[in-house]
Amino acid sequence: MGAEKLNIDGLTIWDDAKQMLRKAEQEGIETAWDRLQQQTPHCKFGESGVCCRLCTMGPCRISKKSVRGVCGADADVIVARNFGRFVAGGSAGHSDHGRDCIEALHAVAQGETDDYTIKDRDKLYRIAEEVGVPTEGKEPLEVAGELAADFFENYGTTKGGLSFIGRVPEKRQKIWADLGITPRGVDREIAEMMHRTHMGCDNDAANTMLHAARTCLADGWAGSMIATEVSDILFGTPSPGKSQVNLGVLKKDQVNILVHGHNPIVSEKIMEAVNDPALIKLARDKGATGINLAGLCCTGNELMMRQGIPMAGNHLMTELAVITGAVELIVVDYQCIMPSLVQVGSCYHTKMVTTADKARFTGADHVKFEMNNGMEQAERVVRMAIDRFGMRDQARVEIPCEPVDIVTGFSNEALLQALGGTPEPLIEAIKAGKIRGAVGIVGCNNPKYKHDHCNVNLAKELIKKDILVLVTGCVTTAAGKAGLLLPGAIDQAGPGLQEICGALGIPPVVHMGSCVDNARILQLCALLANALGVDISDLPVAASSPEWYSEKAAAIGTYAVASGIYTHLGHPPNITGSEVVANLALSGLDDLVGACFLVEPDPFKAADLIDDRIKSKRTALGLEA
Ligand code: XCC
Ligand code: SF4
């Protein structure tokens, strides 16, 4: 390839990653970091968002000498349209995942499947009551059917508002209503975003940005929230438990299967299949000592939260996990799965299996999961993995380091239980300044950063300042590897957080789930705001996605801001080509929705800036900063 040699030590903070990058180099295997080098420098028009490909009079790109596209659109319009479509993509991802969960609930209710059941009946009834589905005297399946029907309604044009609109503090609902951004239904907002951004429709950047906010709100308060709540109903509401993280969770003498993607519908079945005594025996007959299941990315988070399976790694660890040479098979559903995994796998004996028609990969085997064949297909996939164990070249296997212990499973229900059943102790701790605030650190990895450097250091800096950190998505693995997801990590926290977390026996960095589970954080913020009789924007809270990469992360950031949560990003979305849009994001939104974005690549500076914001919110609430 003739590319420059990578400076491996500068690419990641982790030893397991470095060791695998060296192995990749020796074995001539290309990774995301090599490809980033090939792609650098990136196209400046694309990076600043001023390239428009929305019609064939173009493509057009805006520069000093050509300030308008062929149709007359300027940089502001083009940037806003591109951003709108970007977050519509992210909202579609989470929300379509949510719809798949409702379909599973519906299938259970109709008796169309034996593969899925209602694991948390209490939650089924509780959520049904909450959204106005009557439960009295009804059997669980009847309630499940009506709840599924109610949730499906959130996807079209809702008549009476989103199912979970009642969770939103009144002041926030009023802000949305005044701006005309109350979300009306997931599919509608996404489709309208596509419509508005067609040539000749919404040619006012600020107006397009408001619809971007509306689209993302439909994701946060409907698509993602439904995904989370239905997953809990079907697979159980997470409660605290132990697990382990990093590549050390792979086992040299076992059949290693990785689940990757987002939706627990496939991975839960795989987990059941690996525990099937007949399949374990089959693996033993083939010379393995057992079958080991580990997670990657968010489906890993889902299984870790509920079932305690270990996590092999986050986004940038996915290729590196295969490079251990110890993985028989990766089974995926959708989102964040690098297409390169097929190529990396083909350098070993690693088989990639896809399960969803909407996410097929050339070169992978397709084992289609449907509502009524989940168990059968899961067993088939596990058999495929066992078959490949004999093809493994043990001489090429290298499993770096020992796994790190973590505590996971903090759903809001679990958190409230830890608090003694009410949010009161948390509120008292916030008032007393022992917990000065809370920050949700969410999202991804991006090879443009030293892998996990910002994720880990931001979390460390915040807990030092007595700010409770809630993590979801790929930040989880980062925090876990750094030892921050253990109660013992209170040693690294400020005195107040040390006292409170110590008394509750919880870590100062709390794992709340996958990317869709950011809805749990939204709900928690709403709960606190309602308890205090204020708006979410009045709370001493913030969100951050330091190393984000995806459309989904941008959608999360946007619904957080539109919900009143100040949101830090390590780098801006591709909007810097428009002053109007950039100013709106970085300050203008503060006047409109009571929150805005902060962009800061340095985690230490970001921690200080977030702290400043938390201080100002505390002062405004009449609390000591
Ligand atoms: Fe994807 Fe959810 Fe980002 Fe990880 S964190 S890289 S979006 S897997 Ni949500
Ligand atoms: Fe160019 Fe306008 Fe067409 Fe975009 S919509 S490609 S700016 S002519």
Q: Which atom of ligand 1 is nearest to the CA of 444?
A: 3
| Numbered ranges of CATH 1.20.1270.30 in the chain | 75-235
Is the C-alpha dihedral spanning 210, 212, 215, 216 positive or negative? negative
Examine the pLDDT at 167 and tell me if it is beyond 50: yes
Report pLDDT for 3: 65
- 410 CA distance to ligand 1 middle (Å): 18
Confidence of residue 157 (pLDDT cuts 50, 70, 90): confident
For residue 81, how far is the Cα from the chain centroid?
24
Tokens for 337, please give them: 């799965």
pTM above 0.85, yes or no: yes
Confidence of residue 1 (pLDDT cuts 50, 70, 90): very low
Q: Which atom of ligand 1 is nearest to the CA of 315?
A: 6
Select from 228, 296, 444 the residue to mutate for testing ligand 1; criterion: most ligand atoms less than 8 Å from CB.
444
CATH architecture of 241-396: 3-Layer(aba) Sandwich (3.40)
Burial class (CB in 10 A: 0-12, 13-18, 19+), 56: exposed
Report pLDDT for 134: 97
Report pLDDT for 159: 82
pLDDT mean over 189-215:
98
* CB-based burial, 260-284: b 16+ in 10 Å, e otherwise: bbbbbbbbbbbbbbbeeeebbebbe
In single-letter form, the type of residue at position 230 comes to: V
Tokens for 310, please give them: 């270990």
Examine the pLDDT at 321 and tell me if it is beyond 50: yes
| Numbered ranges of CATH 3.40.50.2030 in the chain | 241-396, 409-620
- 448 CA distance to ligand 2 middle (Å): 30
Q: Which residues pair with 468 in a beta bridge?
A: 438
Q: Which residues contact 155 (CB under 8 A, 6 or more apart)?
A: 95, 99, 185, 186, 187, 222
Confidence of residue 4 (pLDDT cuts 50, 70, 90): confident
| Cα–Cα nearest to 322, from 351, 300, 301 | 351
| Cα–Cα nearest to 180, from 562, 533, 551 | 562
Report pLDDT for 27: 97
pLDDT mean over 73-81:
98
Residue spans of alpha helices (H) in 11-120: 15-27, 32-39, 44-48, 75-109
DSSP 8-state symbol, 55: S
Report pLDDT for 413: 98
* CB-based burial, 438-448: b 16+ in 10 Å, e otherwise: bbbbbbbbbbe
For the segment(s) 75-235, the CATH number from 1.10.1740.10, 3.40.50.10860, 1.20.1270.30, 3.10.580.10 is 1.20.1270.30
Confidence of residue 541 (pLDDT cuts 50, 70, 90): very high
CB 332 within 8 A of CB 354: yes
From 87-101, 110-124, 150-164, 237-251, the region with the lowest mean pLDDT: 150-164
Examine the pLDDT at 439 and tell me if it is beyond 50: yes
Query: Which CATH fold topology does 409-620 show?
Result: Rossmann fold (3.40.50)
Q: What would the pLDDT profile of 402-427 be if each residue is shown by its tens digit? A: 999 999 999 999 999 999 999 999 99
Report pLDDT for 52: 98
Examine the pLDDT at 2 and tell me if it is beyond 90: no
